[in-house]
Amino acid sequence: MKRDSFQAIADPTRREILNMLAYKSLNVNAVAENFEVSRTAVYKHLKILTECGLVVVKQQGRERFCEARLEKLNEVSDWVEQYRKFWTDKFDSLEKYLIELQSKNTQSENNITNPSPLSHDI
């Protein structure tokens, strides 16, 4: 289906699911209980979240526990943050933010992830 995080979080139910799973894993039924819509509908949302990596599922007996992988949101964060300066009115704040970002980047220059605000990796 080639879904991405942007599409996944466009739906308010899916955002709520992510919030619900942020601090504790729940099985499919437990997630579904929190919504008006049917279990099957929630299951489909979970499937979409799984497809784009925002949720992983771990089988445990007949239950399947859903776990949020919120670090996948960095794809969205990176895109949005490149425009942060447009709503951060005080230049100081932006400067501070950039400095903070810069220090992070230099610390990790020799490895793994591309820290560019435009990167869509991992």
Partner DNA sequence: TTGTTGTGAAACCAAAAGGTTTCATATACA
Partner DNA sequence: TGTATATGAAACCTTTTGGTTTCACAACAA
DSSP letters, 58-76, are EEETTEEEEEE-GGGGHHH
- What x/- string results for residues 61 through 100 when contact with DNA is judged by CB under 7 A? xxxxx-----------------------------------
Q: Hey, what's the torsion of the CAs at 10, 13, 16, 22, to 10 degrees?
A: -80
Q: Which of residues 21-50 bind DNA (CB under 7 A)?
A: 27-30, 36-41, 43-46, 48
Q: Which of residues 13-72 bind a copy of itself (CB under 8 A)?
A: 15, 18, 22-25, 67-68, 70-72
- Binding a copy of itself by CB under 8 A: which of 37, 47, 81, 93? 81
Nearer Cβ to a copy of itself, position 39 or 93?
93
Q: Answer for the pair 64, 57: CB distance below 8 angstroms, yes or no.
A: yes
Q: What residue has token string 């599922």?
A: 57
